Structure 1
Amino acid sequence: MSSRPAGQKGPSAVQPITPVERRVTVHSTLRTQDGVAIDAAYHPGADPGVPAPDVAIVLAHGFTGDLDRPHVRRAARVFAQHAAVITFSFRGHGASGGRSTVGDREVLDLAAAVEWARSFGHAHVVTVGFSMGGSVVLRHAALHRGRTEARADAVVAVSAPARWYYRGTAPMRRLHWLVTRPAGRVVGRLGLRTRIHPHEWDPVPLSPVESVPLIAPTPLLIVHGDRDPYFPVDHPRMLAEAAAGGAELWLESGMGHAEHAADDALLGRIANWATSSPS
């Protein structure tokens, strides 16, 4: 990993290779502050009459996802009915460079995507993260409050963990095997298109629950399913409690985990919240 702290500004965080055009879908490679190439796409919205043309939603996918995964593309299509949308692949995922740090340096990937959204002229940028991406949007909002070009104007965390190293469910124990064992990382690279960094965090990054108190007054929405097989409902409740009244909590009946479990109706409700949340 780079030795630069996650929130520290570095040289030229965003270097799009494709010219900006407002009404055309744009594909680009962004450069993060630590020099990682990030595969990204800008979707200008369903049509010129989209209800919130000044709003852009930056979609942060979950672990082992990328911008070309069907569930990520479906979420982007629903969001694009309400606003412009940035999708991107976190480092180590899909066509992006680098290796996944499972929520640590990914804050820099999100910062590059937010800055790119602002380069299109959007005054209101909302970050929406799923699972690992949910932890990243929380940490990003806490670490980038003072940087106008990289800050989020509102934040949505869907199916996010509250704390690190959680192994209380079978899916999370399998995920820890994938991340921490050499054989698991081979499975991740060959079977899941996810290249995982082999070293432990040093230092351990700010956790999601530690990040939440630093986000206010930025509007924050926490969304979680009561049937989530990865993170039980004590996780969203811990996050909401840490916000001390500064977050809205939606506990969704019957919902499982992240993008796969979020149906179009829920995604539409999230987009409505994102486009109506105050700056």
Structure 2
Amino acid sequence: MKDKKQTVLAVASIATSIFTAASFALFEYAICRKKKQPDIRKKEKWKPYLNYVLKEQKWLYEHQEKELKTIESKDGLKLQAVYIPKENAKGIIICMHGYHSAIEIEFVPEIRFLWDLGYSILLPWQRSHGKSEGRYITYGVKERYDLKQWILYANDMLHMAQRDIFLCGISMGCATALMAAGLKLPKNVKGIIADCGFTSPWDIVKHVAKTRLHLPSFPLMYSVNFICKIFAGFGLKEVSIPEIMKQNQIPILFIHGDRDQYVPMWMTVKNYEACAGPKELYIVHGAGHALAFSKDMEEGKRWIQKFIKKYETRKRNE
């Protein structure tokens, strides 16, 4: 009997150790900053568009008027962004990149197009990415406040207070922009271009853990959520984008590819359906994650240009 009890205790101890290790491993995988910078040339999904992206990267790198801007987050992190000014700009478009990505990857195919529409461009590195400080990625929960800081910076320091501001986000950057819509933003924020965003941190971490890592959601997600609260200072269930959308009045163009296996399309559809304000939905057939614009550039340009022109208030050469 004693031996049986010891065996049960030993098995329970081993199971607990494995569960704890799995929880911290998922936390490390999903929440912590990565040391290596992403390289688009090594990403399989970008191969069909690589030549074009590299050409647009060259334009970004060699742009003579490119400036590095810095702000401090509410919790004391130094955040940086690349600013591309436009002479006699109608306003500014602030582009938020995705999870474990960078400013010179997802937005590069469309930066020059957006700039040519008559807008200055601001490309922040989200906290815990690139040149911005931070150890933990919070899936938009804290990043939404960083975005609001950038909006206020654009109004105060880049003289945009009397001009239009549009927000543009891809993947986690989309979630950041949609979550920021729940904050009290300046009235000159005229619209959001929301490309392949998720519904909540809980939903996307759960989806990735299941589909990519083949891990059970229960009870693992609850353990990871607890670790997030203790170490990273946020909860995976802290913010629900559909709930924010129920009160939103900022016009939003929702975009998603129907072949997205990382952030499933139903998440954008759910956000779109919940949105109370002016909204449009553009589904790109055959596009994988964060590839909607690259998959069909001409149609993407048409949708985005039409959306911006519909809600902008300042005309160029005014």
Give CA-to-partner distance per residue, 1:82-139, whole Å, 9 cap, x none: 1211001001001101122222111122112222322323310000111111111011
User: Do the aligned residues in 1 keep the contact of 2:175 with 2:241 (CA within 8 Å)?
Assistant: yes
Match of 1:59 in 2: 95
Cα 1:219–1:39 shift into 2, 3 Å? same
- Cα-Cα RMSD: 3.0
Alignment partner for residue 128 of structure 1, among 159, 162, 168? 168
Match of 1:262 in 2: 293
Cα deviation for residue 76 of structure 1 reads 2.1
Number of residue pairs the alignment of both structures matches? 229
Percent identity between matched residues is 24
SS in 2 for 1:41: strand
Instruction: Give TM-score scaled by structure 2 length.
Output: 0.63
**Amino acid of the structure 2 residue aligned with 1:276:** K
User: Do the aligned residues in 1 keep the contact of 2:247 with 2:276 (CA within 8 Å)?
Assistant: no
User: Do the aligned residues in 1 keep the contact of 2:254 with 2:280 (CA within 8 Å)?
Assistant: yes
User: Do the aligned residues in 1 keep the contact of 2:248 with 2:277 (CA within 8 Å)?
Assistant: no
Query: Which is helix-richer, 1 or 2?
Result: 2
Give CA-to-partner distance per residue, 1:218-245, whole Å, 9 cap, x none: 2111111111111222212211110146
User: Do the aligned residues in 2 keep the contact of 1:171 with 1:230 (CA within 8 Å)?
Assistant: no
User: Do the aligned residues in 2 keep the contact of 1:255 with 1:261 (CA within 8 Å)?
Assistant: yes
Alignment partner for residue 116 of structure 2, among 81, 86, 89? 81
Alignment partner for residue 189 of structure 2, among 136, 143, 152? 152
**Structure 1 consecutive aligned stretches of length 4 or more whose deviation exceeds 6 Å:** none
**Amino acid of the structure 2 residue aligned with 1:25:** K
Match of 1:95 in 2: 131
SS in 2 for 1:269: helix
The structure with the larger Rg is 2
Cα deviation for residue 26 of structure 1 reads 1.8
Match of 1:206 in 2: 239
SS in 1 for 2:268: helix
User: Do the aligned residues in 2 keep the contact of 1:65 with 1:72 (CA within 8 Å)?
Assistant: no
Cα deviation for residue 278 of structure 1 reads 2.1
Alignment partner for residue 113 of structure 1, among 150, 160, 168? 150
Match of 1:241 in 2: 273
Cα 1:33–1:39 shift into 2, 3 Å? same
- Whole-angstrom distance in 2 between the partners of 1:97 and 1:205: 22
- Whole-angstrom distance in 2 between the partners of 1:92 and 1:108: 14
